[in-house]
Amino acid sequence: MDNFIVYDVVFLIAFALFVSIFLYTRKHNLKREGLLFLYRAGWGIKLINKVGNKYKKTLKVLSYVSITTGYILMAVMFYMFGRIIYLYIAFPSVVKAIKIPPITPLIPYLPQVFKLDFLPPFYFTYWIIIIAIIAVSHEFAHGIFAAYDKIKIKSTGFGFFPFFLPIFLAAFVELDEKRMAKKKIHSQLSILSAGTFANVLTAILFFGVIWIFFSMAFVPSGVVFDTYPYTLVGASSIAMINGINVQNSTYSNMVALMSNDTLNKITSNGDFLITKKSFEQQKGSDNIVVYYDAPAINANMERIITKINGNQLRSTGDLGNAISKYNPGDKIILTLINSDGKEYTKEIALGKNPETGKAWLGIGFNQNQQSGVFGKFVSLLSSFKKQHVYYTQRFDGISVFIYNLLWWLALISISVALVNMLPVGIFDGGRFFYLTILAITKNEKIAKRAFAFSTYFILFLVFVLMVSWVWASFF
């Protein structure tokens, strides 16, 4: 997949040239508004009006669903924003480990540049496809609900930020704002929330597509372990280190018996292993975390096991069943995958499980749990993948490319929906919030003050976030 970045950069350059030429030859349709250049056209207006006028009963029901969805997203975003603020203020050590600022637009190559291994690569090709799908569906949803409420659509088109290259695009549907302002609050709320509602539907749709695609394009072909079994031993009970008797159980004496380069064998009612660095990090503790003296850690095994004695593994259950057929001391041939993705074999003698007495390799599996609303959604996007199972591609290269594209599509769809419902003036959530307060108080002055307060308050919180990140990262 790394080779794809070359083709991606070529596509980026070609796309920038195409857009530049396109806009130059049609500059009479361009108009600057703030930081954006808008290219106005009539694309899609007939389709928007057709849908808005044909499916009135359906759109009437969906208007209530859309508004309800808007309020839910706004509440979730308030909760997430509060959690992020708390994290950045209360846990500066965690913030220090975060490589990018908390408020950063997702741009092509961001995960690659900052080496964010928990995210898949993000290419310019992905970005253009995702913008086309998310922005167009978002804006068309605004237009469809506006057409349903008999509000004229003046134009459609796209905007772009003219920084460096005209490639940072955004779609828009221009409505008759004066006519919209005269409509009932329910109608305005449904139009404002329609875009985020469309983003939610897009996320749900592509989550289903991911599920189907993954089952077709990937095959379970091995087991991935992520730790070695460990336990606690009393520091004062350590009798030997690397075969040498411990005469005095002081910290300095025990450290002196340890090697920097290898695992150190500790004897304390059994044999255990620990690195010198790990021991030093636990200085002062009465109980020391140590690994069991097991075959896997001694052999420095690769973390992906595909076969045992030539028999294919497809789950942790397969691994357990295979090992149960042998006795401690029996030798088996493991097929492993190294960091370069190459298969190789290794002979290894099975050990004895200290708890059951049965044969074991001495590998462990952590249960990875994401916390927070956003983290749980990220986990949901991969929920159909069995934990600790290694998958291979049916279609080499293209399977991963398409899967990552679909994954980003679903993730960014819900992210756009959430951010857009923040009660800030530049987002749909700003006017949505204003109309809500107006409906409750029946007082335009109070609604405007509430709208201004929410906008400045959110911007203040953003400032606090950025300051917290700078302070934790550089001081």
User: Regarding predicted confidence, which is higher, 439 or 101?
Assistant: 439
pLDDT grade, residue 104 (50/70/90)? confident
In CATH, what number is assigned to the domain containing residue 317?
A: 2.30.42.10
In a domain, 256, yes or no: yes
Task: Say if residue 51 is in the same domain as residue 68.
Answer: yes
Closest CA to 308 of 292, 329, 331, 327: 331
Residue 449 pLDDT: 96
Angle at 132 between CA 217 and CA 54, to 5 degrees: 105
Residue 370 pLDDT: 55
Boundary residue ending a domain (293, 310, 342): 293
Residue 165 clears pLDDT 60, i.e. is over it: no
Task: Say if residue 133 is in the same domain as residue 272.
Answer: no
Q: Render pLDDT for 28-82 as a digit per residue (tens, 0 to 9).
A: 888 877 767 788 888 889 999 999 999 999 999 999 999 999 999 999 988 888 8
Asked whether the whole model's pTM tops 0.75, one would answer yes
320 to 223, 225, 299, 317: CA distances (angstroms): 11, 12, 19, 5
Task: Say if residue 209 is in the same domain as residue 243.
Answer: no
In a domain, 372, yes or no: no
In a domain, 225, yes or no: no
Give the domain extent around 198: 4-218+392-474
Task: Say if residue 306 is in the same domain as residue 444.
Answer: no
Q: How many CB atoms lie within 10 A of CB 36?
A: 17
Asked if 174 contacts 40 with a C-beta cutoff of 8 angstroms, the reply is: yes
Task: Say if residue 15 is in the same domain as residue 110.
Answer: yes
In a domain, 378, yes or no: no
Task: Say if residue 165 is in the same domain as residue 101.
Answer: yes
Task: Say if residue 307 is in the same domain as residue 286.
Answer: no
Closest CA to 59 of 206, 207, 186, 208: 186
In a domain, 379, yes or no: no
Task: Say if residue 267 is in the same domain as residue 308.
Answer: no
Q: How many domains does the chain have?
A: 3
Task: Say if residue 164 is in the same domain as residue 263.
Answer: no
**Ramachandran class of 354: left when φ > 0, alpha when ψ lies in -120 to 50, beta otherwise:** alpha
Length of the chain: 475
Residue 26 pLDDT: 83
Residue 20 pLDDT: 81
* 289-300 mean pLDDT: 94
Task: Say if residue 241 is in the same domain as residue 194.
Answer: no
Boundary residue ending a domain (244, 268, 293): 293
Task: Say if residue 151 is in the same domain as residue 192.
Answer: yes
Task: Say if residue 167 is in the same domain as residue 199.
Answer: yes
Alpha carbon distance 197, 406 (integer Å): 19
In a domain, 101, yes or no: yes
In a domain, 369, yes or no: no
Question: In the predicted model, what is the mean pLDDT of the chain?
Answer: 88
In a domain, 385, yes or no: no
